[in-house]
Amino acid sequence: MSEDKLFDRVGRVFPSGEILFRDGDAAETMYVLRSGRVRVFKEVNGREKTLAFIEAGDFFGEMALLNNKPRTASAECVEETAVLVIDAKMFEAMLRGNAEIAVRMIQRLAKRLDEANGLVGVLMQKDPKARVILGLERAAEGGIVLEDGTVRVLTDEDQLALEVGVAPEDVRGVLQRMARLGIVEVEDTGFLIPNVMRLHEFLEFLQSRSKS
């Protein structure tokens, strides 16, 4: 079946601001993004935490279909968006009949497992300063790379504190110190990291100080 015919069958166009699904909803469909952009977010302590931006050509919402559990995050169109809406029966048929889709799914699951292992590594650090720095490094891997190479991370102090298991005031102290050194710039919507390598170098410096 051609892509145009498939879109005629299961395609839909949503306006900017449309919520495709919310955290806790029952999962009946997944989505393949044909055009536009989708923000995946979760509400934490009354504040929205952006988890990812989905770009054209990618798919999302499949995990809830695979494990038959409610949605674990919400998805919002940030511009006019065209998607293929795939139900569980069609999804299973696609996995069985299309090797490329099956391989992409395996790659997606492997990436999520790697991210989970990375978070475990962060949480095993006893030094809260190390947790904050490693948490920023992880966030930078999924950040937005600007033209000059600076990475914009769309999270804030409270969200970072929650993710790495460190008190917000301790996170704030580490960030303020790194801001004075020019390693991080704190914005209202997140952080700017001019050179991610400097995060690693600063962590090594702190660890060497603690051993001396």
Banded pLDDT at 129 (limits 50, 70, 90): confident
- Three-state SS for 171-184 is HHHHHHHHHHCCCC
Mean pLDDT of all residues in 52-72: 83
Higher pLDDT, 92 or 151: 151
Banded pLDDT at 109 (limits 50, 70, 90): confident
- Residue 161 to residues 24, 60, 129, Cα–Cα distance (Å): 24, 27, 11
pTM over 0.75: no
Mean pLDDT of all residues in 165-187: 88
Neighbour-count burial of 85, counting CB atoms closer than 10 A to its CB (0-12 exposed, 13-18 middle, 19+ buried): middle
Banded pLDDT at 83 (limits 50, 70, 90): very high
Which range is least confidently modeled, 12-21, 48-57, 63-72, 126-135? 48-57
For residue 1, pLDDT over 80 is answered with no
Higher pLDDT, 84 or 206: 84
CB atoms inside a 10 Å sphere around CB 122: 20
CA distance 20 to 31: 9
Mean pLDDT of all residues in 8-29: 92
Tally of CA atoms within 13 A in the half-sphere of 46 that contains its CB: 0
CB 19 within 8 Å of CB 40: no
CB 165 within 8 Å of CB 131: yes
Banded pLDDT at 79 (limits 50, 70, 90): very high
Mean pLDDT of all residues in 84-112: 80
Per-residue pLDDT of 151-166, as tens digits, reads 988 877 877 887 787 8
End-to-end CA distance of the chain: 66
Mean pLDDT of all residues in 179-205: 86
Of all residues in the chain, the percent with pLDDT exceeding 70 is 89
CA distance 208 to 201: 11
Which of 134, 179, 132 shows the shortest CA–CA distance to 160?
132
Which of 51, 44, 31 shows the shortest CA–CA distance to 139?
51
CB atoms inside a 10 Å sphere around CB 149: 10
CB 166 within 8 Å of CB 126: no
For residue 13, pLDDT over 90 is answered with yes
What pLDDT was estimated at residue 3?
A: 61
CB 20 within 8 Å of CB 33: no
